[in-house]
């Protein structure tokens, strides 16, 4: 089962953001979308989940999303936006319960507290959302998304988490916790597609990587295949070298020059 976009094009105003790109992610894996600022990463994710108008075709588990109703999509995939704001004083538990309003998770009232515990916020249910730090709010939104598609597989089909920069406001400990949540969800049969800025976390946790550069796909494949000196230096406009830590053998990245490249 897969999440596929074919010939995806997006224009915003007079600007072409995505130039007919192809994308695919496989259930059971964490797929990271990476690339420099303004490359089209978030736009690609928003096109895949239907938040921006696009050309081309998007399919979830072989089903064309244009033929699915909103409630059907809500039961198949949950979306964490890059930022979310609330104008009214909701409590944390009220925010998370919004995830219960979609499809098969309705009436499962025990899920919000379990989701809070999963993101390290047990006991926060009665607090007001606006009183939390930015990182805590981000984890509350993740708990809401998890509640919507709590079981990674439903009726024999994988469900999907679409996450836009899920660790951007978090300290390193909570970053690792969220990345482990993503990997666990995929290991249990679901699919995870995440826009990522941190290339080291991407190298550590992603099974597959899609690099976007100037609205096009620059590379796809495993982290070892995509995160190379040449591809990274070309995409990010600075000299980068991929290094391996001898004790663990894990891939990590180090900027060797803080100078911009011409062009």
Domain ranges of the chain: 2-82+155-257
What pLDDT, on the 0 to 100 scale, is given for residue 60?
96
pLDDT given for residue 228 in this prediction = 93
Of the candidates 105, 141, 107, 101, the residue with the CA atom closest to the CA atom of residue 121: 141
**Half-sphere exposure (Cβ direction) of 59: Cα atoms closer than 13 Å:** 13
Residues 2-82+155-257, CATH architecture? 3-Layer(aba) Sandwich (3.40)
Look at residue 258 in the predicted model and tell me its pLDDT: 44
Q: What was the pLDDT predicted at 141? A: 93
CA distances to 105, 132, 177, 182 from 110, in Å: 10, 22, 22, 21
pTM of the predicted model, to two decimals? 0.90
pLDDT means per 10 residues, the chain with 263 residues, are 95 92 97 95 95 94 93 92 79 87 61 92 93 93 94 94 94 92 97 95 95 95 94 90 68 55 51
pLDDT recorded at residue 216: 95
Please tell me the predicted confidence (pLDDT) of residue 8.
97
């Amino acid at each position: 089962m897969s999440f596929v976009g074919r010939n995806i094009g997006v224009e915003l105003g007079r600007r072409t953001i995505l130039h007919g790109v192809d994308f695919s992610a496989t259930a059971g894996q964490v797929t990271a979308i990476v690339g420099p600022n303004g490359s089209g990463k978030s736009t690609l994710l928003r096109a895949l989940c239907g938040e921006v108008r696009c050309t081309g075709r998007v399919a979830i588990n072989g089903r064309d999303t244009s033929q699915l109703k909103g409630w059907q999509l809500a039961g198949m995939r949950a979306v964490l936006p890059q930022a979310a704001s609330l104008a009214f004083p909701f409590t944390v538990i009220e925010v998370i319960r919004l995830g219960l309003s979609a499809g098969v998770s309705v009436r499962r009232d025990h899920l919000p507290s379990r989701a809070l515990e999963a993101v390290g916020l047990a006991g926060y249910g009665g607090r007001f959302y606006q009183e939390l730090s930015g990182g805590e709010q981000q984890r509350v939104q993740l708990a809401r998304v998890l509640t919507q598609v709590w079981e990674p597989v439903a009726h024999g089909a994988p469900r999907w988490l679409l996450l836009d920069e899920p660790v951007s406001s978090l300290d390193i400990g909570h970053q690792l916790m969220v990345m482990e949540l993503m990997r666990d969800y995929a290991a249990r049969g679901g699919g995870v597609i995440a826009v990522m800025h941190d290339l080291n976390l991407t190298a550590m946790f992603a099974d597959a990587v899609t690099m976007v550069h100037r609205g096009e796909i620059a590379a796809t494949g495993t982290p070892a295949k995509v995160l190379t000196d040449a591809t990274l230096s070309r995409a990010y406009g600075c000299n980068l070298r991929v290094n391996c830590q001898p004790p663990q053998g894990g891939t990590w990245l180090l900027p060797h020059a803080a100078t911009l490249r011409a062009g």
